[in-house]
Amino acid sequence: MAAARHDRIGLLLATALGVAVLAARPSAIAQAPAAQGRNDAALQEVLITASRQADEAITAKVTKALRDDPYVFADHVGIETENGIVRVRGIVVDLSDLRRTLLLARRVAGRRHVINELELIPLGADHD
């Protein structure tokens, strides 16, 4: 007898839950496309401008560090930053200038990559 009573309660509970799910489902289906449309519109309007400002700031910091250093002749050295990658380009006449320039660029850039595109042309070399 007790088993029959538990079966009846279980059947009533399952029926009540089924009705509740079916009653809630049409409203959820009707709202799903509208919510998805809002998310798509929001994703299409996102503009990323922070990387450009950060690149310019890194370039300015590295350039200032090179200009302020009394041991580096950096008049022929250019700094470019693109997507967080710092490129050091130009001509240096001394190996110590090359090392010091790269050291300062790496120190200011931090964890970002620094690409060496410096050309070492010693003063005693024959220039054409």
pLDDT tens digits along 47-66: 655 556 688 999 999 999 99
Instruction: Give the model's pLDDT for residue 78.
Output: 95
Give the amino acid at 5: R
Instruction: Give the model's pLDDT for residue 51.
Output: 55
- Interatomic CA distance for residues 2 and 79, integer angstroms: 85
Does residue 89 carry a pLDDT above 90? yes
Give the amino acid at 78: G
Percent of the chain with pLDDT over 70: 62
- The answer to whether residues 81 and 58 touch, using CB atoms and an 8 Å cutoff, is yes
Percent of the chain with pLDDT over 90: 38
